[in-house]
């Protein structure tokens, strides 16, 4: 099985969600099912069917998270020597060569990506263009809107 890269923060978030599902949601749903059973005929009991559907979703999510954690290769970028190279987990300050605008991205695992918070997936066009490059390098990102040239200003191991 191929290991999937994940940051320490990404692993912590998944473990927290897993614990919440197991210790809070699972018991709450079991209680809702028990309450709904007391209302009688299960065929026409909407509360019972809603609780069972919620239970199915929760159990599926628990299995999904456990699978992701089992296949994760957690990378702590703070433990890796700082070379100025862009690697998984680093935060990169970029300067758009055409507009002179500065943007900062952190390269994270697929499940952690959140473009609104400048967290980009290791598989995204920008991350693929940046990986292995160094501070001062110019990279060309082939995005859906066309090619964009960036200069790598700084690489942070945060």
Same domain, 71 and 97: no
The answer to whether residues 63 and 39 belong to one domain is: yes
Tell me: do 56 and 18 sit in the same domain: yes
Secondary structure class of 68 (helix, strand, coil): helix
**In order along the chain (158 residues), what is the average pLDDT of each group of 10 residues?**
87 96 96 85 80 95 95 92 91 94 95 93 93 94 87 91
Among 12, 41, 75, the domain boundary falls at 75
Strand order in the sheet with 102-108: 119-121, 102-108, 91-96, 146-156, 138-143
Our count of domains for the chain comes to: 2
- 116 and 50, same structural domain? no
Which pLDDT does position 15 carry in this prediction? 96
Domain boundary among 75, 93, 124: 75
Residues 58 and 102 in one domain: no
Residues 84 and 36 in one domain: no
137: Cα separation from own chain's centroid? 27
Task: Tell me the pLDDT tens digit for each residue of 97-111.
Answer: 999 999 999 999 998
Indicate whether 70 and 89 sit together in one domain. Answer: no
Model-level pTM greater than 0.85?
A: no
Q: Which domain holds residue 110?
A: 79-156
Residues 87, 147, single domain; the answer is yes
According to the model, what pLDDT value does residue 124 have?
Answer: 92
């Amino acid at each position: 099985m191929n290991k999937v890269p994940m940051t320490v923060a990404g692993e912590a978030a998944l473990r927290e969600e897993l614990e919440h599902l197991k210790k809070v949601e699972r018991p709450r749903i079991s209680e809702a099912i028990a309450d709904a059973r007391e209302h009688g005929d299960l065929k026409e009991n909407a509360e019972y069917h809603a609780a069972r559907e919620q239970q199915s979703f929760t159990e599926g999510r628990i299995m999904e998270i456990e699978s992701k954690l089992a296949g994760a290769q957690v990378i702590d970028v703070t433990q890796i020597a700082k070379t100025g190279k862009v690697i998984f987990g680093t935060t990169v300050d970029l300067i758009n060569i055409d507009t002179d605008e500065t943007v900062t991205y952190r390269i994270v695992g697929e499940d952690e990506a959140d473009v609104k918070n400048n967290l980009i997936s290791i598989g995204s066009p920008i991350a693929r263009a940046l990986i292995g490059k160094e501070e001062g390098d110019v990279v060309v990102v082939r995005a859906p809107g066309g090619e964009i040239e960036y200069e790598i200003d700084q690489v942070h191991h945060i």
